[in-house]
A and B are shown apart, each in its own frame.
Chain A
């Protein structure tokens, strides 16, 4: 079985900051906007190097989304930065009308997604954002898994003509994907080959899926782990090809089971190949204060939870 190791842990938001800085040097049309969270979004380097292409909006996210839409008229490629909660729920109507329906080339970059925001608690821990964004016609939804992939995704979305929701997080997580990777929107990445069960994971749960697959391997269970960094458009073929081999699937995400990756996968399976599926996701609940590790444990979003789900789904084959 192919195994993955890491030398360093870093936050995915720093991958966004590094990708944005590189875009600042390579793409003169890229502009950045922030609603009073420069440090949290790691946007400093872009701002230092391109002060004229940065717009500090203040604590006014609705205005930020509208200004971003306006900046596209004139050929700019705006990247907005704030927490995932304030990037989606707070400004849903602005995104819907001024960006998505208007077909504007805005990149909505959202940090501190999910429970791993930690101690600030449920007001800041959005677990509904993937659902909100994937329902908007034309919106691309991406949730990369580590620093390198977030950096590559940030750079890649500048080349995509249309609105994108890029979701990343606060905690340091293992860097296990290559620094020189080419990021292809909508193209799933098979991390391990397996025959007994398919595990498709997104964001922070991808590393947890790899950890689970190691333990499962030791228990004699062969798991195929797929990194679904793009939830929309979903790589239907990669999922269907894998379950054709394994006959069952576990989906894993730092998101509500309603509206997330798991439901998108379930739709594809229901239409093309009905397959037993278990969901590693939050169960229609808000979060709470705690350390990221405590929260992921309490809400069942770690490798142990994935192992348990695998054992359950195997019995349903």
Chain B
């Protein structure tokens, strides 16, 4: 059984990392990163079956692809704190000569990253390809991906969603970060997408909701259920209901902090709401 307290402590530390990273360079995307902290911690600490070290081909282990690459702060923090590289390197986020580029890339050789992402809408296709390679290799491990809800406005997603069910890519679990916000406002203001659940179901996916996407126990339970639904002829979609900016009160429930860094005072408030648990980098 996972130790929930330990995972919660790690999540709090990840939130501190996110705030400190974007504050230092006065740029980056804290809102979506904070909202997905529980998901990333659960995935890398409990859900995924991962090999030691990093191998690009990832044979014999579960794989994860981040499609909405702008939430790189949470990705980098959890990768570092899961052993892919030193947590000290978080200090280099978005700086010249860093492996921690503004958006994730394989180009600088950062362990843990298997595809560049940032230009939106491309990650599901890549995850599908990796999942089909696993089938060809008789590798029964799973492929996970994460996408923003606003990101679903990109048409390539729907090509991929149509394909995955038609070709029975049932070793794929794609999570949608359903925070209802994008840069210019709420997703309903920018371009209402109607029922995302209904759309995925109409396209032939199995869909489950994790209503409390910022509750570690709920995420673990939901992702375990998602895993149990793989291998049944359909790809699995997890609608992860999160709060953008979760854990920092003034950043919550608004798109305002999608891509804006806190100033010194705001950082202090945010850090005070998230006590240091495992030690800052």
- Residues of A whose CB lies within 8 Å of any CB of B are 31, 52-53, 55, 57-58, 60, 62-76, 78, 93-94, 96-98, 101-104
**Residue in A closest to B117 when the chains form the complex, CB atoms:** A97
**Hey, which chain B residues are within 8 Å of A72, CB to CB?**
129, 133
Within the assembled complex, what's the spacing in Å between the Cα atoms of A71 and B125? 10
Q: Is B126 an interface residue (CB 8 A)?
A: yes
Q: Within the complex, what minimum Cβ distance (angstroms) separates A95 from chain B?
A: 10
A74:B115 contact, CB within 8 angstroms? no
- One digit per residue, 1 when the CB lies within 8 angstroms of any chain A CB and 0 when it does not, for chain B 153-170 equals 001100110110011000
**Residue in A closest to B161 when the chains form the complex, CB atoms:** A63
**Hey, which chain B residues are within 8 Å of A66, CB to CB?**
122-126, 128-129, 156, 160
**Residue in B closest to A91 when the chains form the complex, CB atoms:** B156
A98:B137 contact, CB within 8 angstroms? no
**Hey, which chain B residues are within 8 Å of A60, CB to CB?**
159, 162-163
**Hey, which chain A residues are within 8 Å of B134, CB to CB?**
74
A102:B115 contact, CB within 8 angstroms? yes
Within the assembled complex, what's the spacing in Å between the Cα atoms of A103 and B125? 16
Q: Is B106 an interface residue (CB 8 A)?
A: yes
A-B pair number, CB within 8 angstroms: 118
A71:B105 contact, CB within 8 angstroms? no
- Residues of B whose CB lies within 8 Å of any CB of A are 56-59, 63, 65, 105-107, 114-119, 122-134, 136-137, 139, 155-156, 159-160, 162-163, 166-167
A74:B59 contact, CB within 8 angstroms? yes
B136:A74 contact, CB within 8 angstroms? yes
**Residue in A closest to B129 when the chains form the complex, CB atoms:** A70
B133:A98 contact, CB within 8 angstroms? no
B156:A98 contact, CB within 8 angstroms? no
Q: Within the complex, what minimum Cβ distance (angstroms) separates B59 from chain A?
A: 7
Query: SS class of chain A's interface: helix, strand, loop or mixed?
Result: helix
B163:A75 contact, CB within 8 angstroms? no
Identify which of B56, B107, B128, B155 contacts A67 (C-beta below 8 A).
B128
B107:A103 contact, CB within 8 angstroms? yes
Identify which of A58, A70, A101 contacts B132 (C-beta below 8 A).
A70
Within the assembled complex, what's the spacing in Å between the Cα atoms of A192 and B231? 60
**Residue in A closest to B67 when the chains form the complex, CB atoms:** A66
B136:A67 contact, CB within 8 angstroms? no
Give 6 A-B contacts (CB < 8 Å), ordered by A residue. Answer: A58-B162, A67-B128, A67-B163, A69-B126, A74-B57, A98-B115
Within the assembled complex, what's the spacing in Å between the Cα atoms of A64 and B159? 9
**Hey, which chain B residues are within 8 Å of A101, CB to CB?**
105-107, 116
Identify which of B57, B119, B128, B136 contacts A97 (C-beta below 8 A).
B119
Q: Within the complex, what minimum Cβ distance (angstroms) separates B58 from chain A?
A: 6
Q: Within the complex, what minimum Cβ distance (angstroms) separates A54 from chain B?
A: 11
Q: If A63-B125, A65-B125, A66-B122 touch, does A102 touch B136 (CB 8 Å cutoff)?
A: no
A76:B136 contact, CB within 8 angstroms? yes
B115:A71 contact, CB within 8 angstroms? no
